[in-house]
Structure 1
Amino acid sequence: MIPDNPTLPVPLAGFRTKTDEQNREYAEVIATLPQYASEKALHTYPLQTACIEAIDGTLGIMLPDRRVVIRPGQRFQIPPNTSHAFYNADETEVKFREMLKPALHTPWLFDEISAAAKRNRPGIVAFFEKAYILSQVKSEYYQSGIPVFIQKHIYPVLARVGKLLGWVRHVAPRF
């Protein structure tokens, strides 16, 4: 189970990733949100289309201008560069599938965010780990509420500092 860590973007109880290994056309994430869980902030995939499908329970999708609720078997498509976040709109755990096209480095991103959350490192160290992870996928994933300039240009500097101080030694290389 991934602890709810406000310094990391994903409060999921569990997930697994799968990639189309032959031509990397898509990455699939199967995620579970605990009862009453909600992502802390909107996020954006500038280069990917996200197709969301509810598997079990009722999934809420927050968009900048509205909220959408989907039930098992229903799908919702989010175009590239659209901010969104997920929340549990049900009384029980919600399981859903997010398919991102093209795959890019999405499996690595989610695997590393999960591993960092499981380490549950305190404040400043977790921040440097997040900066390192997100700097490795710049232009592929952005958190809303943090200026893109900071995510593109300041996070890489913070990532290097974190590496020098040994605070991000547990993060696997992207390649």
Structure 2
Amino acid sequence: MNYPLPHTIENGNGETLTFLRLIEEPDGDRLVGENFVAPTIGPPMHVHWLQDEGFTVLNGRIGYQTLGQPERFAGPGESIVFKRGVPHRFWNAGTETLHCSSWIKPTNTIVFFLTSIFEAQKKSGKPQPEIFDAAYLLTRYASEYDMLEIPRFVRKVIMPLTYQLGRLLGKYKHFEGAPEPIKPHQVLEAQMLNA
């Protein structure tokens, strides 16, 4: 699944994200975008195992937190960076729409993954994605992403079982052509080649 840029997604719950352009860099492509987030809205505690992610506030106030740390806040002109492997969350901590420029590096499968998560949220009509799609995405791409607000037993046992049930029931035809998950060893190999 290849998405031409710019590519805009919205989840029906107050988040809109536009992937604007790809910048080729020696140590991995950087995907640049922008997001708009309604007051009090934002993704739950999650982790990108293989990617760094950054935001610069253009308008509004962002609240953010890394796992185990206190909540912090940033306003227009301020930037925050979440390093790969560090669980984090962010939300609109103001009363107006939060507008940020953003980047993620390397891109890996992020455009497909977030497009699919946002579509699954619209399908469910709630902040939680439709269960079979969530099981597919969080099981297949577990080497890249994790949602830490989902209890561990659900993530490690219930989701994989739901994924298998979805396969048996033919629930994943809309994911035909989905990109292969990136494995951590592939990232290390690419880094060594570019060193």
Do the structures match in fold with TM over 0.5? yes
CA contact (8 A) 2:24 2:30 kept: no
For each residue in 1:115-145, what CA deviation from the matched residue of structure 2 results, as whole angstroms up to 9, or x when unmatched?
A: 22222379xx911110101223221111113
Aligned to 1:62: 65
Code of the aligned partner of 1:36: T
Out of 142, 158, 163, the residue aligned to residue 162 of structure 2 is 158
Contact 1:138 1:152 in 2 (8 A): no
Provide the residue aligned with 1:100 in structure 2: 104
Q: 1:114 to 1:38 in 2, by over 3 A?
A: closer
Please give the alpha-carbon distance, in whole angstroms, between the structure 2 residues aligned to 1:17 and 1:164. 34
1:83-138: CA deviation from partner (whole Å, max 9, x where unpaired): 1111111111111233111111111111111122222379xx91111010122322
Which entry has the higher C-alpha Rg, 1 or 2? 2
TM-score for both structures, normalised by structure 1: 0.78
Which of 7, 17, 34 is equivalent to 1:15?
17
Aligned-residue sequence identity (percent) comes to 21
Are the structure 2 counterparts of residues 58 and 77 from structure 1 closer, same or farther at C-alpha, using a change threshold of 3 Å?
Answer: same
1:143 aligned onto 2:147: yes
Secondary structure at the aligned position of 1:145 is classed as coil
Q: How far apart are 1:81 and its partner, in Å? A: 1.2
Q: Contact between 1:50 and 1:99, CA under 8 Å: does it hold in 2?
A: yes
5+ residue gaps, structure 1, are 5-11
1:119 alignment partner AA: K
Determine the structure 2 residue equivalent to 1:42: 45
Whichever residue aligns with residue 97 of structure 1, its letter is S
CA distance in 2, matches of 1:28, 1:151: 30
**Structure 1 residue 150, shift from structure 2 partner:** 6.0
Shifted more, 104-113 versus 27-36: the winner is 27-36
1:19 Cα deviation after fit: 5.4
How many Å separate the matches in 2 of 1:60 and 1:66?
A: 10
Q: Secondary structure at the match of 1:117?
A: helix
